[in-house]
Every structure is written in C-alpha cells, then in structure tokens.
Structure 1
Amino acid sequence: MTGGHTRAELLALLHNRLDDARYAHCVRVEQTARELARRFGADEARAGLAGLFHDYAKQVPVETYRTLIQRQGFDRALLNYSRGVWHGLVGTWFIKTEVGITDPAVIQAIERHTTGDPEMTVLDQIIFVADFIEPARDLPVEAKCREAAQTSLTEATRIELENTLTYLIAKRQIVYPKTLLTYNAFLTKE
C-alpha cells in the first residue's frame, strides 16, 4: 500500500515535493483522517496514507499539468480548470509514478478530494472533510464542519460542498460539473 516505502521515506518524498507549510498541512490532514477513520469505522492506514499524500501534487507547475493532461490521455476538458482541480484528479499520476502508491481506494480518495463524487465512499469523504477541518483551519465554516464531523460524515461533507460552491460562485470561477452533481446527491443522503 505504501509503495514499499518506510514512513520516513514517505515523509521525505512528500517534503521534497512541497514547501514547509504545505507539508505541515499534509501531516495534519493525515492525523485528522486517522481520527475520522477511527470514528467512522474506516481503514485507518488507508485514511492516513491518503491524507498524507492528498496534496502531493499541489505545487506542480501549471505548465507541467497542461502537458501531462495533453500527453497522458486525460480528458482534455480538464484544461478548462486549474491546479485546484488538477492536483486531485491528475495529481495521482505523480503519486503512482514517483512514489509507487497504487492502492485503488487511496488513489480514488485523493482524486475525489478536490471535486467530490456523487458516489463517494466513507474513505473518500474522510479525506474530503479532513482536508477542510484539519486543526490549523479556523474559519467559522470550518469549525461548523468540524463540529458536524463529530457525529455525521455526510453532514460534514455537505457543509464543505456548500462552502466550495459558495466560494467558487462568489469568485465567478467555473464549477467542475461533478462537484455540483455531488452536492445534489448529498442533499438527499442521510
């Protein structure tokens, strides 16, 4: 599951890819994901690994992403979006090729942490929410989501989706279609 690496090696690979602030964020998301996994009965090791590597490709240059999307068979419609979407959906290419992590559940959770998915698994939701509520995040909506995550992963996911859509609309940014589909799907989930 870890691509054959020790924890120290994984941390070094991650830190070589990210600046100190982003690296520290990833370590906090790892711990938050592990806590959520314990709370909601998910695989703690997978949650930790996905949380740790969820932003592995966050700081990959935009031009590198554009080239990768064009040359590696990704949907060219992705070129309409930005690194905010790419670091999940396309960023797993770097995780698989550079780190050797190929566990489908871990890869899927990382892919879905930027856009959501109407069929998100518990692990997917854990990474989606952990990224939003890690301890250094202190906006009121993050605190509201953190409180909801004490008892309902579904409600916490809904809160984050609402925040994402509100943010994108306020900034007049294009909304990735699956994010809107995810929001609609989660309106009716218990």
Structure 2
Amino acid sequence: MSKQNSYKDLPVPEFVRIREHLKGKLHPMRYEHTLGVSYTCIALAMRYGYDLQKAEMAGLLHDCAKRYDEAAIIKKCRSKGIELTENELNAPATIHAKLGAWMAEHKYGIDDPEILQAIACHTTGKPAMGLLDKILYIADYIEPRRDRAPRLPEIRKLAFEDLDEALYQIMKGILGYLEESGAYIDDMTRVAFEYCDAERMRRMEEAVTQMGSLADLKEEISQNDTGKQNGKNRRKSTGRQKRRRYQNH
C-alpha cells in the first residue's frame, strides 16, 4: 500500500470514533451487545431499503446511557430537565432510552430526528412506529448475543421476511412475559402493543379483501374465457353445418 493510500492518512469516520468511545465507557458485554445490535440494524436496513448509516448509528447509540445504573439514570434525567412520569419511574429499566436519546444529541452530536426517536422508543415501542423505530426495536431483540428469549430462531427468520409481523410477535412475547412474571408494565408498552395488534388486524382484513377481489377477478376472467370458448365452438359448429349443406347439394 502506497503512503498516500495508507489507512493512517485517511479521516476516521464518525461511527468509528463513537464505537471506540463506547468501548471505553460500556461494560464489555454491553459493548458486545451494542455491536450486535448495530450490525443487525444494518442487515435489516439492507433488507428493507433503509439508510445503512442511520441504522448503524441508531444501533451504536441505543444503549449509550447504560453506562449508568438505574438510580444514576433517573438522577441524570432530572438534572438535564428530562421529564419522567410516575409510570416511567415504576418501570426504571425503560428510562435509559430517554437519557440515551438526550446523550446521542448533546454528547455525540446526532441531530437526525429519526435516529433520536428510534433510540428514545427502543425499550417500549410506541404507536405508529417508523421504519427505523421498528428496525432498532427488533434488532435489540434478535441480535446474535441474545440467547434467552423464547422462539428466537423463529423470530430471527421472521424479521427478514415480515418486519411488522416480527414486531407484533416480539411485543406480544414481551407483554406476556411481563404479565406472567408479575412485573410492572408501563403504559407505553401496553399502548404500543395495542396499536400494533390493531394494525395487524387491519392488514389481515385488507389481505382478505384483496383475496376476495382477486377471486372475483379470476371468476370474471374464467367466465370471459368460457364465453369466448363457447363462441369459438359455436362458430366451428356453424362452419361444419355449412360444409355439410354444401356437400349435400
């Protein structure tokens, strides 16, 4: 490699600097999880046609606030003027998403609203999630280091076949786990699932309607084809009758 093309002479991309910074701030396993989520975000972005760099950045920074414990996260939110509801305080494990979005903007200089929104809702989801919201939420669940969630092989495969159905199945599983374990369920987690469930029903109804429309169209085409064939048969029959009359004369 010539000197002018040496890697040491190239500018360091922002995501590389952020990655190195996170490596020094996060617990090693949290950092490994972060990389797994980031790479999975990229893969899902490739599959569904989303911006790869934005997906990667959302994955890198989604847990940037996890360098702190829950008590410290709450304290920092209050010191930064980040509003916390009583409901959120009852589910403190979700709050790092809010602080993480703040840190992504003010500590790491991210000003893209889609990235910040995806980070802010990656623990609970929300109604009407955008594509990056869904990608990050799902990547956080299926990334390669995850090994305890039920049905992971099935969900991982589904994520690359039907993103919305994967989102629904993950939310349903998380809500069911929280209910069975008696854990507190924050309002946003429940509202997000109810919205997702309603959207799933709407898609199913549209599919049924579309199938009905296709069936009607096929029937119409079949009837037209039958009519055309009958017309051909009638013309053939008439032709044969004329030929027989001609022969008789």
TM-score calculated relative to the size of structure 2: 0.70
Q: CA RMSD in A?
A: 1.8
- CA–CA distance in structure 1, aligned partners of residues 70 and 137 of structure 2: 23
**Are 1:162 and 2:172 counterparts?**
yes
Report if aligned partners of 1:70, 1:76 keep a CA contact under 8 Å in 2: no
> Greater relative contact order (Cα 8 A, min sep 6): structure 1 or 2?
1
- The one-character-per-residue Cα deviations of 1:68-106 (angstroms, maximum 9, x if unpaired) are 333314134232221x20111232222222222221100
> Which residue in the other structure is 2:94 paired with?
85
Task: Name the structure with the higher helix share.
Answer: 2
1:171 aligns with 2:181: yes
Conserved 8 A contact 2:32-2:145: no
1:109 to partner: Cα distance: 0.5
Q: What stretches of structure 1 of length at least 5 have no aligned partner?
A: none
How far is 1:170 from its partner? 2.2
CA distance, structure 2, for counterparts of residue 150 and residue 140 of structure 1: 18
Single out whichever of 118-127 and 53-62 deviates more from structure 2: 53-62
Structure showing greater Rg: 2
Shift of 1:39: 0.8
Q: In structure 2, list runs of 5 or more residues that go unmatched.
A: 1-11, 204-249
Structure-2 residue corresponding to 1:106:
115
Amino acid at match of 1:113: H
Instruction: Verify: 1:12 aligned to 2:14, yes or no.
Output: no
**CA contact 2:82–2:99 (8 Å) conserved in 1:** no
Instruction: Output the CA distance in 2 between the equivalents of 1:8 and 1:65.
Output: 25
Q: Deviations over 1:118-141 (max 9, x none)?
A: 110011000000111112223442
2:75 is matched with which residue? 67
Q: How many correspondences in the alignment?
A: 186
Q: Matched residues in 2 for 1:129 and 1:73: separation?
A: 26
> In 2, Cα distance between the equivalents of 1:7 and 1:123?
17
Instruction: Provide the C-alpha distance between the structure 1 equivalents of 2:180 and 2:19, rounded to a whole number of angstroms.
Output: 36
Distance in 2, Cα, partners of 1:21 & 1:69: 24
Task: Write the letter of the residue equivalent to 1:178.
Answer: M
Asked whether the equivalents of residues 69 and 76 of structure 1 are also in contact (C-alpha less than 8 Å), the reply is: no
Equivalent of residue 38 in structure 2, options 27, 30, 43? 30
In structure 2, what is the equivalent of residue 116 of structure 1? 125
Alignment identity in percent?
Answer: 31
Preserved contact between residue 15 and residue 57 of structure 2 (Cα < 8 Å) = no
- Give the superposition deviation at 1:167: 1.9
